[in-house]
Amino acid sequence: MTVIEQNKEDIGFNQSQQHTAFRVVLRVDGLYAHQVLHQSKSSLGSRSLVEFNPQTVLLRASDFCAAFPYHIIFDKGLRIRQCGDLIQKHSCVEMTDGLPLTEAFSIVHPRMVLTIENIRKFINAVFLLALTPNHQQNGKKTFLLKGQMIWLSDTKHMIFIGSPRLTSLNELIEMNVYLADIPLYDVTRELVLLNQQRIAEIDIAKRLDETTAELKRTSMALEEEKSKTETLLYEMLPRKVAKALTEGRKVEAGML
């Protein structure tokens, strides 16, 4: 592993962070990774792989916005040129061509000044973008998008493709999002439902523990009352009679 580049990044607010790029070379049994890959491909046969890249795009912009409802395309000047249908739905800012990105979104992670140059330096990082909140809706949770940035070298634009950052049904309600707002191909649906099932199981286990503890307390209280009753019997009645009564046997009438 060798260091390729190391510099200091200004992230704003009079703060900075160190940014280091490494080159990692893997070796297996004395061979480099690309040599191992070449050998594995050769063992699969002589079939050659040819990339299939169509010359024309068989997708209209409106279809793309519907298929990827949480994407944003912006230029070097951070002006929005295109965005997904559901971003337009949940944003309190009217999305128009040329709208400055910083008016509709703020960057949460990575911590940096939002510029094309900084985004390209952190292109391999996971990005968190927050929609500009609507101050008229107090108590509503900030709408967060988690995804990746991809540089479009042909058009010199940047595309962000992501999905809502959700973990539970409560967050769905707080962010005013429905399951139908999450694409079928997005694992966020399964994550939310699995987490909700886990929360329900933890709640059931907690209630079971509380019920068991309550039964133990009740049993101890019953034993204590039973002991007090037996003590009272032995104080009020002859020992022979008291013992018979505590054992549940009948006592014949007689002179004592």
Encode the chain (256 residues) as per-residue pLDDT tens digits: 788 777 776 666 666 777 777 777 776 665 555 555 555 555 545 566 677 777 777 888 899 999 999 999 999 999 999 999 999 998 888 899 999 999 999 999 888 888 999 899 889 899 999 998 876 566 677 889 999 999 999 899 999 999 999 888 888 888 888 888 888 888 888 888 898 889 889 999 999 999 999 999 999 999 888 888 878 877 777 777 777 777 777 777 666 6
State how many domains the chain has: 3
Distance CA 90, CA 142 (A): 11
Are 35 and 78 within one domain? Answer: no
- Segments forming the whole domain that contains residue 214: 195-246
**Domain limit, last residue, from 165, 186, 207:** 186
Flag whether 180 is in a domain: yes
Rounded to whole angstroms, how far apart are CA atoms 145 and 126? 10
Residue 52 lies in a domain: no
Shared domain for 90 and 163, answered yes or no, is: yes
pLDDT at residue 34, as a whole number: 57
Identify residue 187 by its one-letter amino acid code. Answer: V
Is residue 84 within 8 A of residue 71, CB to CB? The reply is: yes
pTM, two decimals, is: 0.66
Q: Are residues 120 and 11 in the same domain?
A: no
Q: Same structural domain for residues 106 and 32?
A: no
Q: Which of 129, 20, 35 is nearest to 74 (CA)?
A: 129
Q: How distant, in Å, are the alpha carbons of 110, 163, 207, 223 from that of 199?
A: 30, 22, 12, 36
Q: Which of 135, 163, 186 is the last residue of a domain?
A: 186
What pLDDT is recorded for position 133?
80
Q: Would you state the pLDDT for residue 40?
A: 55
The answer to whether residues 166 and 145 belong to one domain is yes
d(CA 73, CA 160): 6
With residues binned 3-state (H G I as helix, E B as strand, rest as coil), the percentages for the chain, rounded to 5, are 40, 25, 35
Say whether both 76 and 175 belong to one domain.
yes
In a domain, 53, yes or no: no
Asked whether residue 254 is domain-assigned, the answer is no
On whether both 113 and 214 belong to a single domain, the answer is: no
Token digits for 242? 């008291």
181 and 200 in a common domain: no
Rg (CA), the chain: 34
Residue with the two structure tokens 């002991």: 227
17 with 129, same domain: the answer is no
Cβ-contact 129, 105 below 8 angstroms: yes
| Same-domain pairing of 202 and 160 | no
- Integer Cα distance of 134 and 92 in angstroms: 6
- 48 found inside a domain: no
CATH number, domain with residue 78: 3.30.450.260
Residues 98, 67 within the same domain: yes
Evaluate whether residue 136 is within a structural domain: yes
Is the domain of 80 the same as that of 177?
A: yes
Q: Decide if 226 is inside a domain.
A: yes
- Tell me if 77 is assigned to some domain: yes
